[in-house]
Chain A
Amino acid sequence: MASSTIAPTPPSFILNKDLGFSTFSRQSVSSIPKCRRTISKKICSVTAPHQLERKPSTTGSVKTGMTMTEKILARASEKAQLSPGENVWVNIDVLMTHDVCGPGSIGIFKKEFGQKAKVWDREKIVVIPDHYLFTSDERANRNVDILRDFCMEQNIKYFYDIKDLSNFKANPDFKGVCHIALAQEGHCRPGEVLLGTDSHTCTAGAFGQFATGIGITDAGLVFGTGKLLLKVPPTPRFVMDGEMPNYLLAKDLILHIIGEISLSGATYKSMEFVGTTVESLTMEERMTLCNMVVEAGAKNGVVPADSTTYKYLEDKTSVAYEPVYSDQQARFLSEYRFDVTKLEPLVAKPHSPDNRALARECKDVKIDRVYIGSCTGGKTEDFVAAAKVFQASGKKVKVPTFLVPATQKVWMDIYGLQVPGSGGKTCSQIFEEAGCDTPASPTCGACMGGPGDTYARINEPMVCVSTTNRNFPGRMGHKEGQVYLASPYTAAASALTGYVTDPREFLQ
């Protein structure tokens, strides 16, 4: 087992010199999860406690090689061996819920386990209001109250509450979009099982864990037992090699894959991403990659943990974790190989995430607005990417350009981080000079439409280029809204021209 890492947390611990973070960004120091074992006062190590990056399974006599997903589920169900198709009761490490599905899950939990029932583990549940926050819709506001009442009653350790809707910064616990908050708060750890009442829970697979979305009834069961009956998925492997061109982002990679295998190409499967390109991706880019596996129907996506993962987790969690890796002899369903140097910026045209097209072939599509946000395309690096394009152009956007940071940390980065190559300007300065809208309060926002008064919601037929994850009819509000899914580079380039635009127009 990995040696436990205790975070000593002196005030200077949190400074990241490269990014110039202020101490404000580590307000949540008090919520760093404790080690699973009894807390020892001895500091064992201050870096990630793993020596080897890839090693075959050493857990005794393994008759058949297993994939990462099979191994994670085997360990979590206390079985030595698992094969795809088996149904097993799995121990859950983290259960996440939010304001849309939380109230329903709570209702089921109380109905099935009793009004006075207690959750299985108050430290393994993370409750994150994020979907419908900055709205006057009474039911939406009430749903956050329901979460709060439950968290107080159950003494839930991690509740990222918001009370003051007029000023998100006035809420010390508030984070924002659940999947990004989970990562930033150190709840995503290699080798673990994370479930969430949201389809994009698969995002956390970027950390080399099993993470998938579940419904309200399943969540009610997990609340009470800490277990769920899961079927082991087979694993198709996606090998991506080659140096990532400077005009491509992980969003292009996943759009390419979904376009290749279709909306149901990975239904009930576990998508494993490996290769030199994947290894070169940052954590946020890996999160983008795994975020959209559900758009191909997948149960989960995984990226093997490595030094990039450990570095990211260094200052975020002190809980011990043990990564797993696919065996050499593991059986994969299929293998897809991509040479990323041959790929070009893509969009998914209305009305399906698998309606893939080259961005440059859509250059005659006039657009009405651009939306940069969501768990898919609203992270810090997504905004830095967009800022790079605006900076390279030096011109103003031709259409309303909405910026919705995923979390309060991302919002702060937009105002605090300096964009490389800009002469010391922050993202916010570049966005302002380009004429974008002021970055909004962190939330899921208009990605899924939401209540009628949601900021940037599409309320009439119009064309939008968006860094979000779905573009089915009515996804962002109006049924006749036309949404082109794209990377932040492509979205920014399109904002500058008023047409769907390949970012190479600005980035070469």
Chain B
Amino acid sequence: MAASLSCSPNPTLTRVTVSPRSSLSPTVPHFLKFLATTPFHPFRPLTARSQSSSFSFAAPRASAAADDKSSSTSTSFHGICYVVGDNIDTDQIIPAEYLTLVPSKPDEYEKLGSYALIGLPDSYTTRFVEPNETKTKYSIVIGGYNFGCGSSREHAPVALGAAGVAAVVAESYARIFFRNSVATGEVYPLESEGRICEECKTGDTLTIELAESRLINHTTGKEYRLKPIGDAGPVIEAGGIFDYARKTGMIPSISA
């Protein structure tokens, strides 16, 4: 269920042009998150999207200036995915000992990213963020049901976003995590139809076409339908809960 949600402007979602690689944090050598906003087009053959094509590197959210707030309706994500199971709770996403980090402080925000999913049991043999790194190479997380259950800690979607996750595609979400994801704009919380966590493997290359609610797994060649964003739509489109509040007259416009 999509609760009333918000999404602060997320420049990686709204970047309009494929810009050349900008001078960004040098600590992202494996950062393979790209974002290309393309006009609506018919389905392109899978072979046209390969990892070797040029990409734009998204700016780390913490240092992003207030970007254009108009959310594009045709946005896609492309990258490799990391697959987790059911009931991934917030203690696995960001263990409690790291909660002394305050997300609104830029350097602590980056640190949170380095600990994303560090709480997963050792049965997950591939680490989400390599030791001594702050970013992950997996820009899409695939999950089962009840993703993000447990605590209300906003550090959970923040850690994922800070690490470089663009979107989570889960079978279902726990409510506070879903709400916080949209409120922060850190990750785009998408719902799959069915259990794609059983059909995708960590390392598969995926494309998500938001406007078409479609997920394409290039590695397996399969396609999946995603559920539409639902009630969160108006809030995301406004640019976040604060923007939504201003737009609907609940709070006056901020004087910068």
Interface residues of A in 191-238 (CB under 8 A from B): 197-199, 201, 213-218, 221, 224-225, 227, 229-231
Digit string of B169-199 for contact with A (CB within 8 Å is 1, else 0)?
A: 0001011100110011000000000000000
CB within 8 A of A217: which of B91, B101, B183?
A: B183
Are the C-beta atoms of A470 and B1 separated by less than 8 Å? no
Chain A neighbourhood of B97, CB < 8 A: 449-452, 477
Interface locus among A1-9, A164-172, A263-271, A366-374: A263-271
CB within 8 A of B102: which of A107, A111, A267, A480?
A: A107
Among B8, B97, B184: residue with most chain A CB under 10 A: B97
Chain A neighbourhood of B99, CB < 8 A: 100, 131-132
Q: 19 other contacts beyond A111-B104, A474-B91, with CB at 8 A cut-off?
A: A101-B154, A104-B154, A107-B103, A107-B104, A114-B254, A131-B99, A146-B102, A213-B176, A215-B183, A218-B183, A225-B250, A225-B251, A264-B149, A267-B1, A297-B149, A448-B91, A449-B91, A449-B95, A473-B120
Q: Which single residue of chain B is at the shortest CB-CB distance from A475?
A: B91
Q: How many residues of B contact A (CB 8 A)?
A: 51
B interface with A by C-beta (< 8 Å): 1, 3-4, 6, 8, 87, 89, 91-92, 95-97, 99-105, 108, 119-122, 145-146, 149-155, 172, 174-176, 179-180, 183-184, 231, 235, 241-242, 244-245, 250-251, 254-255
Confirm or deny: A87 has a beta carbon within 8 angstroms of a beta carbon on chain B.
yes
Are the C-beta atoms of A473 and B175 separated by less than 8 Å? no
Confirm or deny: A432 has a beta carbon within 8 angstroms of a beta carbon on chain B.
no
Interface residues on A, range: 35 or more
Q: List 15 A-B contacts (CB under 8 A).
A: A197-B152, A199-B176, A215-B183, A216-B104, A216-B180, A217-B180, A218-B183, A218-B241, A224-B251, A229-B245, A268-B1, A352-B87, A474-B95, A474-B121, A479-B119
Confirm or deny: A103 has a beta carbon within 8 angstroms of a beta carbon on chain B.
yes
Interface residues of A in 261-318 (CB under 8 A from B): 263-264, 267-268, 294, 297, 299
Digit string of A394-422 for contact with B (CB within 8 Å is 1, else 0)?
A: 00000000000000000000000000000
Interface locus among A23-31, A135-143, A357-365: A135-143
CB within 8 A of A297: which of B91, B119, B122, B174?
A: B174
Interface residues of A in 121-145 (CB under 8 A from B): 131-132, 137, 139-140, 143
Chain B neighbourhood of A112, CB < 8 A: 242, 254
From residue B60, how far is it (CB to closest CB) to chain A in Å?
17
Confirm or deny: A150 has a beta carbon within 8 angstroms of a beta carbon on chain B.
no
**Bound-state Cα–Cα, A199 to B1, Å:** 18
Confirm or deny: A239 has a beta carbon within 8 angstroms of a beta carbon on chain B.
no
Are the C-beta atoms of A104 and B250 separated by less than 8 Å? no
**Bound-state Cα–Cα, A41 to B151, Å:** 44
Known: A104-B102, A197-B152, A449-B97. A479 touches B121 (CB 8 A): yes
**Bound-state Cα–Cα, A103 to B119, Å:** 23
Are the C-beta atoms of A264 and B146 separated by less than 8 Å? yes
Confirm or deny: A113 has a beta carbon within 8 angstroms of a beta carbon on chain B.
yes
Are the C-beta atoms of B154 and A472 separated by less than 8 Å? no
**A-B CB contacts (within 8 Å), total count:** 161
**Bound-state Cα–Cα, A451 to B251, Å:** 38
Known: A213-B176, A224-B251, A479-B121. A451 touches B100 (CB 8 A): yes
**Bound-state Cα–Cα, A385 to B242, Å:** 47
Known: A218-B241, A267-B1. A472 touches B101 (CB 8 A): no
CB within 8 A of B4: which of A101, A213, A229?
A: A229
Chain A neighbourhood of B175, CB < 8 A: 267-268, 297, 299
Are the C-beta atoms of A267 and B146 separated by less than 8 Å? yes
Chain B neighbourhood of A452, CB < 8 A: 97
Are the C-beta atoms of B244 and A229 separated by less than 8 Å? yes
Among A131, A132, A139: residue with most chain B CB under 10 A: A139
From residue B21, how far is it (CB to closest CB) to chain A in Å?
29
Chain B neighbourhood of A470, CB < 8 A: 89, 91, 150
Are the C-beta atoms of A297 and B100 separated by less than 8 Å? no
Are the C-beta atoms of A449 and B4 separated by less than 8 Å? no
Are the C-beta atoms of A472 and B91 separated by less than 8 Å? yes
Are the C-beta atoms of A104 and B104 separated by less than 8 Å? yes
